[in-house]
Amino acid sequence: DAGVTQSPTHLIKTRGQQVTLRCSPKSGHDTVSWYQQALGQGPQFIFQYYEEEERQRGNFPDRFSGHQFPNYSSELNVNALLLGDSALYLCASSMLTLAGDYNEQFFGPGTRLTVL
Amino acid sequence: AQSVTQLDSHVSVSEGTPVLLRCNYSSSYSPSLFWYVQHPNKGLQLLLKYTSAATLVKGINGFEAEFKKSETSFHLTKPSAHMSDAAEYFCVVSAGYGQNFVFGPGTRLSVLP
């Protein structure tokens, strides 16, 4: 089992550009969450996808959007990049337990985005 | 709403001495609580989790944490620090079903020889 994988590893963009980050969940997981981790801070929740729908969303502007595919993989898109979008973007996958709870999230290594 | 406070941004201990990383949480529901570790240039790894079973939770690499509802705390401990424990540690709270994870700001643990 490859675990959660993310691509690319690193990315450099300029202000105003658009970026797409990709995530493949752990085998058997049906839910993908995205987090932004700025330097020296804890990860901040962006949104969560389940059954190809956005289930929850954190306090992020509409410039941040996503998608989940039928194979449960996911993309994070950021439009009109700002300098402040520079961060490590983490993808996490999970699955519903019999209790109806998301018992644990497994994280990928992240994509380091630098906006110049 | 949920929130997490990690009382120390940096903790430094000597190898072989005990580790205590403090975490306090706020939650409107009965929470699930987690500790994750992040080594440089590595992904987040789960150390342990509390999900309303035993209040004393044992995790990997000799770490454990005790859920104290009256104190709204979930402190992480280890009897004897190892050099390989040097990393960033995050306390995480979740309200449960379908709810996202809320991370604390992190505590950087340094282990001195």
Mean pLDDT rounded to a whole number for chain A: 92
DSSP-assigned states of every residue in B49-104: EESSS-SEEE-GGG-EEEEEGGGTEEEEEESS--GGG-EEEEEEEE-STTPPPEE-
Name the token pair of A11. 């990315």
- Inter-chain contact B49–A108, Cβ cutoff 8 Å? no
pLDDT tens track for B79-107: 999 999 999 999 999 876 566 789 999 99
CB neighbour list of residue A106: distance below 8 Å, 6 or more residues apart: A3, A4, A25, A26, A29, A92, A93, A94, B46
Residue with tokens 């040097």, as numbered in its chain: B86
Output the pLDDT for position B97.
57
Q: How far is CA B110 from CA A28, A59, B61, B67, B74, in A?
A: 36, 32, 16, 24, 20
For chain A, give the percent of residues with pLDDT over 90.
82
Instruction: Assess A60–B contact: CB distance below 8 Å, yes or no.
Output: no
CA distance B1 to chain A (A): 12
pLDDT surpassing 70 at residue B57: yes
Output the pLDDT for position A92.
94
- Inter-chain contact B97–A101, Cβ cutoff 8 Å? yes
Output the pLDDT for position B94.
86
Output the pLDDT for position B100.
79
CB–CB contacts below 8 A, A to B = 59
Confidence band of B53 (pLDDT split at 50, 70, 90): confident
Residues A105 and A26: their CA atoms lie apart, in Å, by: 10
What is the C-alpha radius of gyration for chain A, rounded to an integer number of angstroms? 14
pLDDT tens track for A20-73: 999 999 998 999 999 999 998 999 999 999 889 998 899 999 999 999 999 999
Interface test with A, best of B44, B90, B93 (most A CBs within 10 A): B44
pLDDT tens track for B9-48: 999 999 999 999 999 999 877 788 999 999 987 889 999 9
Output the pLDDT for position B1.
77
Residues A109 and A6: their CA atoms lie apart, in Å, by: 7
Name the token pair of A93. 């996958």
Instruction: Assess A95–B contact: CB distance below 8 Å, yes or no.
Output: no
